[in-house]
Amino acid sequence: MRVEADLLRQAMRFWSTGVAIVTAAHMDVQHGMTVTSFTSLSLTPAQVLISLAQNTRTHDLVARSRSFGISILSASQQEISDRFAGRVADEHNRLTGLETFIMQTGSPMVAGGLAYLDCHVVTTLGSGTHTIFIGEVLATRNVDEGAPLVYFNREYRKLE
């Protein structure tokens, strides 16, 4: 017996997570999406994993470029999270008008976040409708101040 997608979605809404933007660039095309499916995997070697739906533009760019950037959002970046969550049509450049920077791989990082990780894909694993990308962290940058944007029960929250 399998659990239906809506039942899993209802249960998972009670898992509190930080919010991050995953970005990638390939051949003059860049794109990104809001994710909560991101976690640290290993300290030695430094690795993280992300899970992206296979039918997304960001998935295609990560698969082609073999790299991705992660911008961990601050509490003041709810509007940016909404933009990258698909409230702007997918064919548009979601990065337009935002301050960005790059580190090593060329993946754009969204300024104003709390921390940034620049990653090279070392392993992929397909599962259901998603692909798990394991990335070796090549560079990081931390802001060391501010509060994270948190998502719980289908709403943004702030830590107090």
One digit per residue, the tens of pLDDT, for the chain of length 160 reads 888 988 988 888 888 899 999 999 999 999 999 998 999 999 999 999 999 999 999 999 999 999 999 999 999 999 999 999 987 565 578 898 999 999 999 999 999 999 999 999 999 999 999 999 999 999 999 997 899 999 999 899 878 6
Q: Judge whether 68 lies within some domain.
A: yes
Structural domains of the chain, count:
1
Q: Judge whether 8 lies within some domain.
A: no
Q: Judge whether 84 lies within some domain.
A: yes
Q: Judge whether 2 lies within some domain.
A: no
Three-state SS letters, the chain: CCCCHHHHHHHHCCCCEECEEEEEEECCEEEEEEECCEEEEECCCCEEEEEEECCCHHHHHHHHHCEEEEEECEHHHHHHHHHHHHHCCCCCCCCCCCCEECCCCCCCEECCCCEEEEEEEEEEEEECCEEEEEEEEEEEEECCCCCEEEEECCEEEECC
Q: Judge whether 80 lies within some domain.
A: yes
Q: Judge whether 3 lies within some domain.
A: no
pTM for this one? 0.92
Residue 116, domain CATH: 2.30.110.10
Domain encompassing residue 150: 14-154
